[in-house]
């Protein structure tokens, strides 16, 4: 199939983008286009206007901003994957990016575009949920900021206003011995995940857990940061299994053409254990 007809605009700055979107509710932002273009081709999306933001310099780059790392929404995924700053300060996101798409799609896809589409299987969305990233939009009325739990509300469904996602703000890596882990399963490496898990732990000098974060993606309507208790514990394999079992006790999973809900629950549990063990070993490596 071919897309339905649309107008094409390339605004000179973000305020102009916001005004176009405010004036035309059926307009859509175009950045990397790795999700939008196939949707246009299948006529799952029929915008009146495509607003190309890919060449706006204010939407690019990865920089330090106080206690946060700012990632411009139009930053190419491949550039983020190879960013030394991200590897140092947001190592969980750096690991997640290695699972995003395939090299050709990462060479065009944008970090903000993945978040804006709100796919529950998207690795960047899971990293944002786990790390409490701020999602920043510019609108004709001003700036709006969202926490992941209020932004992602359903499959490919967000609370995004009529505006342009401008940046993501990730907290810098916490002090202490930090370890991260990310695992997923798919029909082929880097295809859409059937289930995914992300973990970040902080250990003290004796190897006891100071902070533990565990998240699950692709198994439900939205990526989820789970309630997981590990503070003060030594993270043995047996203790990790207990933590995961408790965290996933009320997990709701979905059936679709790719996997059953029961399979997703089993896969989520195994992936969560692997992610936590990897995070523990990563942090223990610093201690050793």
Q: What pLDDT does residue 286 have?
A: 56
For the cut 70, the answer to whether the pLDDT of residue 154 exceeds it is: yes
Give CA–CA dist 264/255, Å, rounded: 8
CB-based contact 189:180 (threshold 8 Å): no
Q: Tens digit of pLDDT for each residue in 80-106?
A: 999 999 999 999 999 999 999 888 999
User: How long, in residues, is the chain?
Assistant: 288
Among 4-13, 31-40, 131-140, 166-175, where is mean pLDDT lowest?
31-40
- Answer with the residue of higher pLDDT: 126 or 285: 126
By the 10 Å C-beta count (0-12 exposed, 13-18 middle, 19+ buried), 109 is classed as buried
Among 158-162, 180-184, 239-243, where is mean pLDDT lowest?
158-162
For the cut 80, the answer to whether the pLDDT of residue 287 exceeds it is: no
Q: In sequence order, what are the residues at sequence separation of 6 or more whose Cβ sits closer than 8 angstroms to the Cβ of residue 45?
A: 28, 36, 39
CA distances from 21 to 30, 50, 75 (A): 12, 10, 21
Average pLDDT over the chain reads: 94
Express as a percent the part of the chain with pLDDT over 90.
Answer: 84
Average pLDDT, stretch 262-285?
A: 96
DSSP one-letter code for 66: T
């Amino acid at each position: 199939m071919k897309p339905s007809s649309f107008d094409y605009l390339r605004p000179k700055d973000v305020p102009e983008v916001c005004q176009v979107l405010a004036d035309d509710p059926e307009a859509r932002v175009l950045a990397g286009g790795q999700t939008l273009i196939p949707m246009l081709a299948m006529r799952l999306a029929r915008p009146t206007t495509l607003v190309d933001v890919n060449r706006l310099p204010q939407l690019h780059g990865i920089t330090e901003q106080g206690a946060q790392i700012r990632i411009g929404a139009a930053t190419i995924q491949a550039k983020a994957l190879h960013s030394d700053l991200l590897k140092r300060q947001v190592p969980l996101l750096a690991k997640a990016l290695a699972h995003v798409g395939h090299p050709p799609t990462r060479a065009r896809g944008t970090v903000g575009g993945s978040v804006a589409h709100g796919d529950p299987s998207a690795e960047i969305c899971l990293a944002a949920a786990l790390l409490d990233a701020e999602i920043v939009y510019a609108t004709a009325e001003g700036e709006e900021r969202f926490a992941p739990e209020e932004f992602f509300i359903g499959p490919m469904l967000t609370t995004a206003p009529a505006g342009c996602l401008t940046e993501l703000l990730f907290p810098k890596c916490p002090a202490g011995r930090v370890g991260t882990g990310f695992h997923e399963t798919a029909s082929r490496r880097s295809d859409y995940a059937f289930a995914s898990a992300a973990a970040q732990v902080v250990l003290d000098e004796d190897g006891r857990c100071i902070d533990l974060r565990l998240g699950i993606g692709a198994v439900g309507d939205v990526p989820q940061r789970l309630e997981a208790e590990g503070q003060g514990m030594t993270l043995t394999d047996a203790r990790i299994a207990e933590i995961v079992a408790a965290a996933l006790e009320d997990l709701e999973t979905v059936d679709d053409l790719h996997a059953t809900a029961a399979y997703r629950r089993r896969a989520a549990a195994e992936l969560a254990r692997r992610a936590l063990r990897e995070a523990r070993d990563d942090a223990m490596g610093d201690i050793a």
